[in-house]
């Protein structure tokens, strides 16, 4: 079995050690896991991760949270740790895994590879919670539907802001569904994706997934929403504060720039990419497909700043 490079960009996240340990304990072949970790935390946790005594390899970078420039910047830095591993898995640092998740993802990806040269598995995973420090999955996953990503209702492409918000919806089908959007917290594909569609460090948060999805599509990659999702995400509860987010005031007030400046710069970056088709080098659109083809496929026409989803299969 070939190696899986696991990208983990963590920001002041107490669950980072849990995620790494659980991924290894739940994998069929933990010895084939390679973690690329950028840990944006007050304290260096290299020894904490080493103390887990796991058979996986860990490549670790520690960054003071004050010096961080956001999740895309951190994920770009993680990718500098990639060393041509066969597979690429991108997750958040608060993820819970099912048994044998590694071979189950590889089997799903390989099943698509016969018809699609460059497939990607991605979706917003189901959630889990901690109860008395133990992970608990409360959602009952049915066997009749597949989660797909769709633009939220009442969204629009604004002249000065191309950012759209997406959500996961059930489609009554139990097989991989070809999609036009992906989830930054769960991407599984072949390692060559890192070289062909590297993370743009000048993006910030919202719009990250749009940029990556369009660039992947125009580089010839096909996004699939898998029917089987062997991992779970710890979603923020409404009553909890954003204390572990890059833009929290406790961190923002210590920096020599404000988080909203990074957000504004990222929006301008998206405008150049999606509206103006400017040449952004390695972070620009590919040459295998065009933005016009993406518009016809997805219903999102960035060039005309319009959307039409009448051709898409209905969701439940």
Q: Give the gyration radius of the chain's Cα atoms.
A: 19
pLDDT of residue 242: 67
Distance CA 272, CA 125 (A): 30
Instruction: Give the model confidence (pLDDT) of 272-289 as tens digits.
Output: 999 999 999 999 999 999
pLDDT of residue 237: 73
Q: What own/partner pairs with CB < 8 Å and gap ≥ 24 does 305-313 have?
A: 305/157, 305/158, 305/159, 305/162, 305/275, 306/157, 307/151, 307/155, 307/156, 307/157, 309/150, 309/151, 312/150, 313/171, 313/173
Distances (CA, A) of 199 to 77, 242, 306: 9, 24, 26
Instruction: Give the model confidence (pLDDT) of 167-200 as tens digits.
Output: 999 999 999 999 999 999 999 999 999 999 999 9
Average pLDDT, the chain: 94
Q: Cα 311 to chain center, whole Å?
A: 26
Residue appearing with tokens 């005594």: 53
pLDDT of residue 246: 87
Residue 119: pLDDT band by 50, 70, 90 thresholds?
Answer: very high
Instruction: Give the model confidence (pLDDT) of 19-48 as tens digits.
Output: 999 999 999 999 999 999 999 999 999 999
- Please report how many Cα atoms fall inside a 13 Å half-sphere around the Cα of residue 111, on the Cβ side: 14
Please determine, for residue 153, whether its predicted confidence score (pLDDT) is greater than 80: yes
CA angle 17, 39, 4 (to 5 degrees): 70
Please determine, for residue 243, whether its predicted confidence score (pLDDT) is greater than 80: no
- Of all residues in the chain, the percent with pLDDT exceeding 70 is 98
Instruction: Give the model confidence (pLDDT) of 202-237 as tens digits.
Output: 999 889 999 999 999 999 999 999 999 999 999 977
pLDDT of residue 259: 86
pLDDT of residue 244: 77
Residue 239: pLDDT band by 50, 70, 90 thresholds?
Answer: low
Please determine, for residue 247, whether its predicted confidence score (pLDDT) is greater than 90: no
Distance CA 285, CA 292 (A): 12
Which token pair is 220? 């010839």
pTM: 0.96
Distances (CA, A) of 19 to 94, 135, 210, 232, 297: 6, 11, 26, 11, 36
Contact 147, 233 (CB under 8 A): no
pLDDT of residue 315: 87
Contact 286, 292 (CB under 8 A): no
Residue 254: pLDDT band by 50, 70, 90 thresholds?
Answer: very high
Distance CA 136, CA 128 (A): 6
């Amino acid at each position: 079995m070939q190696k899986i490079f696991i990208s983990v960009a963590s920001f002041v996240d107490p669950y980072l050690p849990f995620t790494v340990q659980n991924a290894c304990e739940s994998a069929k072949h933990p010895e084939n896991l390679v973690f690329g970790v950028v840990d944006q935390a007050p304290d260096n946790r290299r020894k904490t991760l080493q103390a887990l005594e796991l058979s996986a390899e860990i490549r670790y970078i520690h960054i003071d949270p004050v010096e961080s420039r956001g999740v895309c910047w951190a994920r770009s830095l993680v990718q500098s740790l990639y060393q041509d591993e066969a597979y690429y898995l991108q997750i958040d640092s608060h993820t819970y895994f099912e048994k044998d998740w590694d071979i189950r993802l590889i089997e799903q990806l390989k099943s698509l590879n016969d018809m699609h040269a460059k497939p990607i598995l991605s979706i917003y995973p189901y959630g889990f919670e901690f109860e008395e420090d133990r992970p608990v999955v409360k959602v009952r996953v049915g066997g009749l539907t597949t989660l797909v990503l769709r633009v939220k209702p009442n969204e629009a492409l604004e002249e000065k802001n191309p950012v759209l918000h997406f959500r996961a919806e059930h489609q009554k089908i139990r097989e991989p569904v070809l999609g036009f959007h992906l989830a930054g917290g769960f991407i599984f594909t072949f390692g060559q994706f890192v070289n062909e569609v590297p993370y743009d460090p000048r993006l910030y948060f919202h719009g990250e997934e749009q940029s990556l999805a369009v660039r992947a599509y125009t580089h010839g990659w096909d996004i699939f929403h898998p029917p089987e999702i062997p991992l779970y995400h710890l979603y923020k509860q409404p009553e909890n504060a954003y204390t572990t987010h890059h833009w929290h005031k406790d961190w923002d007030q210590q920096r020599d720039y404000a988080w909203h400046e990074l957000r504004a710069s990222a929006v301008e970056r998206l405008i150049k990419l999606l509206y103006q088709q400017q040449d952004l080098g390695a972070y620009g659109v590919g040459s295998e497909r065009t933005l016009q083809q993406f518009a016809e496929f997805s219903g999102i026409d960035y060039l005309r700043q319009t959307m039409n989803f009448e051709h898409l299969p209905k969701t439940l």
